[in-house]
Amino acid sequence: MADSAYALRASAASPWRRALLAGGVALVLLAVCSVVLPTFLVNNLIRAFLYAAVALTVDLLWGYTGILTFGQSAFFGIGAYAAGLIFTHAGFSLPLAAGALVAGIGAAWLVSRAVGWLAFYHGASPLYASVVTLVLPIVLVQGIYSGGEFTGSSSGLSGFDSFDIPLEAWFFIAGAFLICLAVTAWMFVRSDAGRLLVAIRENEARCEYLGIDVSRYKARLMDTCAVIAAFAGFLFACVQMVVAPEYAGFVFGTELVIWVALGGRGSLIGPIAGTMLIDVGSAYLSGNLPYVWTLLVGVAFVVVIVAMPRGLAPVVAIGARRALPRRRRADAEPVVFAVAKAREHGGAEEARPALSIRGVQKHFGSLKVLDGISFDARAGELLSLIGPNGAGKSTLMRCIADGAERSAGSVEIGGTDIRTLAPYDCVALGIGRKFQTATVFESLTVAEALRIARHRVAPPSKWQRSPVLELPQPALDVLRLTGLDRMPGRECRYLSHGQKQALELAMVLALEPRTVLLDEPTAGLTKQERTQIGEIFVALSSRYRMCLLLVEHDLEFVQQISSRIIVLHQGRIVMDGGVDEVVNSELVRSVYAGESHAAAGTQEEGRA
């Protein structure tokens, strides 16, 4: 087995060159428009630009990451009120303005931390997170109302001084803010790190079991979006010189979601276009038909949610692609796999058991599923867990990989007690878990999925797409054996069932675990695939000295590859020994496959 090192191909044109070019063109266009367009339109567009910036943050949170938030308006309001309050009560000057901006951003960040603590934790439901983001603007607005004279209560604050610059200049500033934000966001979501947003939206549990602290990631994303929204609010207050509670309320918050939904969630350009079109449109049209306009928007919104959840952007995009002349489509940047340097494994590590289970129990109310489970597993062992349905095998697997699952007893991974650690922390201790149903990320490509798996070991770039992906040798072996190494750019949704299983295994191996938990890995595989995967498992334990723990029903498979078998029955270990010992034991036969053999004996005297 030679060290495989594929030749590096020349990387494709750097993506951010294109983005910067587009941004530059937009800025020039902006400057031109600022003098050419009529004042009424310029006024509206300034507002629309800033709203679009906030809508962009909603798209990042909801469209990409799946966090439905009604609360971005609150952060916008915080930024606006910071300016309004300081300029009203302390007057206006450049240092004060800087101070107001810092205060607004700081306050928004603090509030976002609080929201993050409430809404994003291991096991939180997405519905609850949305509820918290709904309550936030309500609380904020009520706070403003109760502020009396100081906050201007329901009438808001107005008439304060601000920067003395012409409207055209504000047009350029607001537009530039939006363009810079859009370019940065675009580069981020296309980067390797940005793909994690989609991964979280599609399969949060998988991310956690790949060692990613999803809650912290979401909270940090919300912090960033809160700061951006507050900045937009600050600019808004400076331009309009009026702040009112409506700008911080949940009606505005839901409007943002509506604009994003109509424009096209998860597309960046869709929300920008949607916001600008609707906001500017309503400025012109709602004068004539006030309620009808809102009614139409409402109807469009409901229709889009029910029938076209991706919004109108994809429809437009398909139309545009058909209308524009055919260009040679740039290939998705090719990704090349290379071997990662193996981490050093000291001899001392092999002396300690890879897994040490003592007295583990699990009960659901009065139902005892696991009772007094104790055993050690060492590096290089291929340990199979067998037993009838309901014996507790899958429960045991969960208790090993998630510190919060078990009701009693202790689990040590590589000598460290996992106490109540969450799955992503258990992964850090060296354990990987492969689920029974292959859970990969449908919208991502093979290479992107594997890169997410390397997140803990090799944090991806936040603005670039690397053309090389380094993987440990065992993962590369799996990819090569199943042909996946030749399709790095294929989206996971187009893989066959067996290929998805192999990809998930490669993702788990990419974590460089010392222990791998495998939950019915052969389910749904063809005979050939079973043989292949059996060979892989044997290689993992014997050549790479991993400890493998398998839950399996296919006893022939178990017999062929295991070095040791543990038999579980009604939550207890009834037998723990070598393959021959267990296979030939009478106790096991009677417990597990027993009836079929006991029947063979009694059939002669039994009824026909």
**Residue 309 touches other proteins, criterion: CB under 8 A:** yes
Q: What are the DSSP E strand ranges found in 114-209?
A: 157-158
Binding other proteins by CB under 8 A: which of 24, 91, 298, 359? 298
The amino acid present at 270, given as its one-letter code, is: G
**Residue 598 touches other proteins, criterion: CB under 8 A:** yes
**Residue 596 touches other proteins, criterion: CB under 8 A:** yes
What are the DSSP calls for 238-306, one per residue? HHH-EE-GGGGSHHHHHHHHHHHHHH-TT-SHHHHHHHHHHHHHHHHHTTTSHHHHHHHHHHHHHHHHH
**Residue 486 touches other proteins, criterion: CB under 8 A:** no
SS3 10: coil
**Residue 150 touches other proteins, criterion: CB under 8 A:** no
**Residue 294 touches other proteins, criterion: CB under 8 A:** yes
HEC assignment per residue over 526-569: CHHHHHHHHHHHHHHHHCCCCEEEEECCCHHHHHHHCCEEEEEE
Cβ 243 to other proteins, closest distance in Å? 19
Residues whose CB is less than 8 angstroms from the CB of residue 383 and which lie 6 or more positions away in sequence, other chains included: 377, 547, 548, 549, 550, 562, 563, 564, 565, 566
**Residue 127 touches other proteins, criterion: CB under 8 A:** yes
Binding other proteins by CB under 8 A: which of 178, 207, 222, 257? 257
Looking at the Cβ atoms of 166 and 291, the one nearer to other proteins is: 291
Q: Across the strands, what pairs with 364?
A: 367
Cβ 145 to other proteins, closest distance in Å? 6
Q: Across the strands, what pairs with 433?
A: 517
The amino acid present at 332, given as its one-letter code, is: A
**Residue 341 touches other proteins, criterion: CB under 8 A:** no
The stretch among 34-42, 104-112, 222-230, 593-601 that binds other proteins (CB under 8 A) is: 593-601
The stretch among 156-164, 215-223, 230-238, 296-304 that binds other proteins (CB under 8 A) is: 296-304
Total residues interacting with other proteins, rule: CB under 8 A: 67
Other beta carbons within 10 angstroms of residue 175's beta carbon come to 23
Binding other proteins by CB under 8 A: which of 131, 277, 458, 481? 131
**Residue 555 touches other proteins, criterion: CB under 8 A:** yes
Among 103, 248, 210, smallest CA distance to 509 is for 210
Under 8 Å between Cβ of 369 and 392: yes
**Residue 158 touches other proteins, criterion: CB under 8 A:** no
**Residue 287 touches other proteins, criterion: CB under 8 A:** no
The stretch among 4-12, 85-93, 300-308, 535-543 that binds other proteins (CB under 8 A) is: 300-308
Residues whose CB is less than 8 angstroms from the CB of residue 7 and which lie 6 or more positions away in sequence, other chains included: none
The stretch among 46-54, 226-234, 273-281, 299-307 that binds other proteins (CB under 8 A) is: 299-307
Dihedrals phi, psi of 325, to nearest 5 degrees = -65, 145
Distances (CA, A) of 572 to 196, 363, 531: 40, 13, 30
Binding site for other proteins (CB under 8 A): 68, 118, 123, 125-128, 130-132, 134-135, 138-139, 142, 145-146, 254, 257-258, 261, 291-292, 294-295, 297-299, 301-302, 305-307, 309, 388-390, 437, 496-497, 500, 520, 522-524, 527, 553-555, 559, 570, 583, 588-589, 592-593, 595-600, 602-603, 606-608
